[in-house]
Structure 1
Amino acid sequence: MKKNTFALYKMSHCPYCIKTIKAIKNLKIDVEYKDINESEKHNKTLIQEGGKRQVPCLRIPNENGAPTWLYESGDIINFLTKLSVN
Protein backbone atom coordinates (compact mmCIF):
# COMPACT_ATOMS: atom_id res chain seq x y z
CA MET A 1 0.00 0.00 0.00
CA LYS A 2 1.18 3.49 -0.80
CA LYS A 3 2.08 5.48 2.29
CA ASN A 4 -0.47 8.25 1.70
CA THR A 5 -3.33 6.07 0.51
CA PHE A 6 -6.47 5.60 2.53
CA ALA A 7 -7.75 2.03 2.79
CA LEU A 8 -11.39 1.17 3.30
CA TYR A 9 -11.99 -2.21 4.89
CA LYS A 10 -15.36 -3.44 3.68
CA MET A 11 -17.68 -6.32 2.80
CA SER A 12 -19.41 -6.31 -0.58
CA HIS A 13 -22.91 -6.95 0.81
CA CYS A 14 -22.74 -4.38 3.63
CA PRO A 15 -25.18 -1.48 3.04
CA TYR A 16 -23.07 0.91 5.12
CA CYS A 17 -20.01 0.02 3.04
CA ILE A 18 -21.95 0.63 -0.18
CA LYS A 19 -23.08 4.03 1.14
CA THR A 20 -19.50 4.92 2.09
CA ILE A 21 -18.06 3.81 -1.26
CA LYS A 22 -20.67 5.86 -3.12
CA ALA A 23 -19.66 8.95 -1.13
CA ILE A 24 -15.95 8.28 -1.74
CA LYS A 25 -16.57 8.05 -5.50
CA ASN A 26 -18.61 11.27 -5.46
CA LEU A 27 -15.80 13.03 -3.58
CA LYS A 28 -13.22 11.62 -6.04
CA ILE A 29 -10.86 10.57 -3.26
CA ASP A 30 -8.20 7.92 -3.88
CA VAL A 31 -9.00 4.96 -1.63
CA GLU A 32 -7.77 1.39 -1.70
CA TYR A 33 -10.58 -1.10 -1.04
CA LYS A 34 -9.94 -4.19 1.08
CA ASP A 35 -12.74 -6.75 1.31
CA ILE A 36 -12.38 -8.72 4.54
CA ASN A 37 -14.45 -11.62 3.18
CA GLU A 38 -12.22 -12.01 0.14
CA SER A 39 -8.91 -11.87 2.00
CA GLU A 40 -8.06 -13.47 5.33
CA LYS A 41 -5.05 -11.14 5.46
CA HIS A 42 -7.30 -8.06 5.30
CA ASN A 43 -9.60 -9.58 7.93
CA LYS A 44 -6.70 -10.24 10.31
CA THR A 45 -5.22 -6.78 9.75
CA LEU A 46 -8.54 -5.12 10.54
CA ILE A 47 -8.94 -7.08 13.78
CA GLN A 48 -5.31 -6.87 14.93
CA GLU A 49 -4.59 -3.26 14.00
CA GLY A 50 -8.05 -1.71 13.95
CA GLY A 51 -9.20 -3.48 17.08
CA LYS A 52 -12.43 -5.08 15.90
CA ARG A 53 -14.10 -6.79 12.96
CA GLN A 54 -16.46 -4.03 11.94
CA VAL A 55 -16.95 -2.48 8.52
CA PRO A 56 -16.74 -0.01 7.02
CA CYS A 57 -13.46 1.04 8.55
CA LEU A 58 -11.13 3.62 7.06
CA ARG A 59 -7.40 3.23 7.66
CA ILE A 60 -5.92 6.73 7.72
CA PRO A 61 -2.15 6.97 7.28
CA ASN A 62 -0.33 9.34 9.60
CA GLU A 63 3.06 10.97 9.26
CA ASN A 64 4.31 9.21 12.41
CA GLY A 65 3.69 5.83 10.78
CA ALA A 66 0.89 4.74 13.13
CA PRO A 67 -2.42 4.75 11.25
CA THR A 68 -5.74 5.91 12.62
CA TRP A 69 -8.70 3.55 12.25
CA LEU A 70 -12.06 5.26 11.74
CA TYR A 71 -15.27 3.25 12.04
CA GLU A 72 -18.90 4.15 11.22
CA SER A 73 -20.00 5.17 7.72
CA GLY A 74 -21.23 8.62 8.80
CA ASP A 75 -17.96 9.43 10.55
CA ILE A 76 -15.93 8.24 7.55
CA ILE A 77 -18.02 10.26 5.10
CA ASN A 78 -17.83 13.39 7.30
CA PHE A 79 -14.04 13.04 7.65
CA LEU A 80 -13.50 12.62 3.89
CA THR A 81 -15.94 15.42 3.03
CA LYS A 82 -14.05 17.84 5.30
CA LEU A 83 -10.77 16.65 3.80
CA SER A 84 -11.95 17.24 0.24
CA VAL A 85 -13.17 20.77 1.08
CA ASN A 86 -9.78 21.84 2.48
Structure 2
Amino acid sequence: MKFIRWFLGRVILLLNFIFSPKGIKRSEESQQEIDTKAQSMALYQFEACPFCVKVRRSMKRQSVKIELRDAKNNQQHREELEAGGGKIKVPCLRIEKAGQVEWMYESSDIVTYLEKEFA
Protein backbone atom coordinates (compact mmCIF):
# COMPACT_ATOMS: atom_id res chain seq x y z
CA MET A 1 0.00 0.00 0.00
CA LYS A 2 2.82 2.39 0.84
CA PHE A 3 4.40 1.80 -2.58
CA ILE A 4 1.10 2.45 -4.36
CA ARG A 5 0.64 5.76 -2.52
CA TRP A 6 4.26 6.74 -3.30
CA PHE A 7 3.82 5.79 -6.98
CA LEU A 8 0.52 7.67 -7.36
CA GLY A 9 2.07 10.69 -5.67
CA ARG A 10 4.88 10.72 -8.23
CA VAL A 11 2.36 10.43 -11.08
CA ILE A 12 0.42 13.40 -9.68
CA LEU A 13 3.62 15.47 -9.42
CA LEU A 14 4.69 14.52 -12.96
CA LEU A 15 1.32 15.46 -14.45
CA ASN A 16 1.35 18.71 -12.47
CA PHE A 17 4.80 19.51 -13.90
CA ILE A 18 3.79 18.69 -17.48
CA PHE A 19 0.49 20.57 -17.37
CA SER A 20 1.56 23.48 -15.19
CA PRO A 21 -0.80 26.49 -15.43
CA LYS A 22 0.29 29.96 -16.53
CA GLY A 23 0.20 32.83 -14.08
CA ILE A 24 -1.46 36.22 -14.38
CA LYS A 25 0.75 38.98 -15.76
CA ARG A 26 0.51 42.12 -13.65
CA SER A 27 2.29 45.44 -13.53
CA GLU A 28 5.34 45.50 -11.27
CA GLU A 29 3.59 47.67 -8.68
CA SER A 30 0.49 45.48 -8.65
CA GLN A 31 2.56 42.29 -8.28
CA GLN A 32 4.53 43.90 -5.45
CA GLU A 33 1.26 44.68 -3.66
CA ILE A 34 0.11 41.04 -4.11
CA ASP A 35 3.46 39.72 -2.83
CA THR A 36 3.23 41.94 0.26
CA LYS A 37 -0.29 40.72 1.00
CA ALA A 38 0.79 37.07 0.53
CA GLN A 39 3.59 37.44 3.11
CA SER A 40 0.99 37.16 5.87
CA MET A 41 0.01 33.67 4.67
CA ALA A 42 1.50 30.18 4.77
CA LEU A 43 0.26 26.96 3.20
CA TYR A 44 0.78 23.79 5.24
CA GLN A 45 0.88 20.96 2.75
CA PHE A 46 2.22 17.58 1.65
CA GLU A 47 4.12 17.62 -1.64
CA ALA A 48 2.19 14.85 -3.43
CA CYS A 49 -1.26 15.38 -1.88
CA PRO A 50 -3.73 15.90 -4.76
CA PHE A 51 -5.68 18.53 -2.80
CA CYS A 52 -2.45 20.41 -2.04
CA VAL A 53 -1.53 20.26 -5.74
CA LYS A 54 -4.94 21.79 -6.51
CA VAL A 55 -4.22 24.72 -4.17
CA ARG A 56 -0.66 25.21 -5.47
CA ARG A 57 -1.99 25.25 -9.06
CA SER A 58 -4.49 27.94 -8.05
CA MET A 59 -1.68 29.94 -6.46
CA LYS A 60 0.31 29.68 -9.69
CA ARG A 61 -2.69 30.74 -11.81
CA GLN A 62 -3.11 33.81 -9.57
CA SER A 63 0.68 34.48 -9.51
CA VAL A 64 0.63 34.42 -5.71
CA LYS A 65 3.79 33.49 -3.81
CA ILE A 66 2.66 32.04 -0.48
CA GLU A 67 5.20 30.33 1.75
CA LEU A 68 4.89 26.54 1.53
CA ARG A 69 5.37 24.59 4.75
CA ASP A 70 5.91 20.83 4.57
CA ALA A 71 3.78 19.32 7.33
CA LYS A 72 4.82 15.78 6.42
CA ASN A 73 8.62 15.92 6.65
CA ASN A 74 9.19 18.97 8.87
CA GLN A 75 8.30 18.22 12.49
CA GLN A 76 8.22 21.92 13.47
CA HIS A 77 5.67 22.75 10.76
CA ARG A 78 3.62 19.68 11.71
CA GLU A 79 3.52 20.80 15.35
CA GLU A 80 2.60 24.39 14.35
CA LEU A 81 -0.28 23.04 12.25
CA GLU A 82 -1.59 20.88 15.07
CA ALA A 83 -1.20 23.59 17.72
CA GLY A 84 -2.65 26.44 15.65
CA GLY A 85 -5.24 24.71 13.51
CA GLY A 86 -6.17 21.98 15.94
CA LYS A 87 -5.54 19.03 13.63
CA ILE A 88 -2.99 17.64 11.21
CA LYS A 89 -4.89 17.91 7.95
CA VAL A 90 -3.67 19.39 4.69
CA PRO A 91 -3.94 21.62 2.82
CA CYS A 92 -4.28 24.31 5.44
CA LEU A 93 -3.86 28.00 4.74
CA ARG A 94 -2.71 30.11 7.70
CA ILE A 95 -3.93 33.69 7.26
CA GLU A 96 -2.79 36.48 9.56
CA LYS A 97 -4.83 39.70 9.52
CA ALA A 98 -4.49 42.51 12.04
CA GLY A 99 -2.91 40.24 14.64
CA GLN A 100 -5.62 37.58 14.26
CA VAL A 101 -4.77 34.16 12.80
CA GLU A 102 -7.27 32.13 10.79
CA TRP A 103 -6.72 28.50 9.71
CA MET A 104 -8.53 27.45 6.52
CA TYR A 105 -8.58 23.72 5.79
CA GLU A 106 -10.65 22.74 2.74
CA SER A 107 -8.91 22.98 -0.65
CA SER A 108 -12.04 24.33 -2.39
CA ASP A 109 -12.44 27.00 0.30
CA ILE A 110 -8.77 27.95 -0.04
CA VAL A 111 -9.00 28.20 -3.85
CA THR A 112 -12.16 30.34 -3.59
CA TYR A 113 -10.45 32.59 -1.02
CA LEU A 114 -7.35 33.02 -3.21
CA GLU A 115 -9.45 33.83 -6.27
CA LYS A 116 -11.42 36.41 -4.29
CA GLU A 117 -8.37 38.03 -2.65
CA PHE A 118 -5.94 38.05 -5.57
CA ALA A 119 -8.07 38.19 -8.75
Q: Judge same fold: TM > 0.5, yes or no.
A: yes
Give runs of ≥4 in structure 1 deviating > 2 Å.
2-5
| Residue equivalent to 2:100 | 66
Correspondence for 2:20:
none
Write 1 or 2 for the structure with the bigger share of helix. Answer: 2
Report the aligned-residue RMSD. 1.6
Q: TM-score, normalised by structure 2?
A: 0.66
Q: Say if 2:73 is the partner of 1:38.
A: yes
Among all aligned residue pairs of Structure 1 and Structure 2, give the percentage whose two residues are the same amino acid: 37
When you count strand as a share of all residues, which structure comes out higher?
1
Q: Give 2:112's aligned residue.
A: 78
> In the aligned structure 2, how far is the partner of 1:50 from the partner of 1:62?
16
Cα distance in 2 between the residues matched to 1:82 and 1:76 = 10
Partner of 1:19: 54
Q: List runs of 5+ in structure 1 lacking aligned partners.
A: none
- Helix, strand or coil at the partner of 2:93: strand
Unaligned runs of 5+ in 2: 1-35
Structure number with bigger Rg: 2
With the length of structure 1 as denominator, give the TM-score of the two structures: 0.89
- Which structure has the higher relative contact order (CA within 8 Å, separation 6+)? 1
Report what 1:49 is aligned to.
Answer: 84
